[in-house]
Structure 1
Amino acid sequence: MDNLRAHKVAGVEQMLEAARVRVIYLSPYSLDFNPIEHLWWQLKSLVKKFAPTTEEALKAILNLDLMLVSEKHLRNYFTHCCYCTS
């Protein structure tokens, strides 16, 4: 897990451990090991490519990109970060 403050509020770690999830925090600024960063990079590249000039256009681009993200994309994000995806 990254070191986002919201992930460290009371109860989050206990809730994950109760669900038998082992919590391992990433070192600060370890973007290459955080799968969500790959999605952010993809979203940012589309915004740069299309350069929306209105809030509505920005929302349309982001919504389209999120609709096109497949399970395969998500698995690739995790694989690229050296997480087991099988």
Structure 2
Amino acid sequence: MLQIQYFLSSPYTETTRPAAPQVPLVQPRRRRLRLYLIGTDADTRSAIASLHHLGYAEQFEWSHVIEIPENGLFVQPDPGDVLRYLQRYPAPRPPA
């Protein structure tokens, strides 16, 4: 006959099981992070490929090329510069 003895109690008994986290009724508004790349089409494609290689963002998440008007936006572009952007919602930070 096989007999098994346990010398340590399970950390997950009913009396020691941690309480389930409380989900607040109102979720806090998530912050938005916007990244902009301004440069030549080739340079922006290269930067997007580098960020993809690093695992930061998929290439399809970036916008298509947006031509910058000659009078600029908030930056004065060099001739031939384009704008690409990525919008993300960062994961919430755990409470300290």
**For this structure pair, what is the TM-score category when the shorter chain's length is used for normalisation?**
under 0.3
Relative contact order, CA 8 A, sep 6+: which one is greater? 2
User: What is the TM-score with the length of structure 1 in the denominator?
Assistant: 0.26
The structure carrying a bigger helix percent of its residues is: 1
Higher CA-based Rg: 2
Q: TM-score, structure 2 length as denominator?
A: 0.24
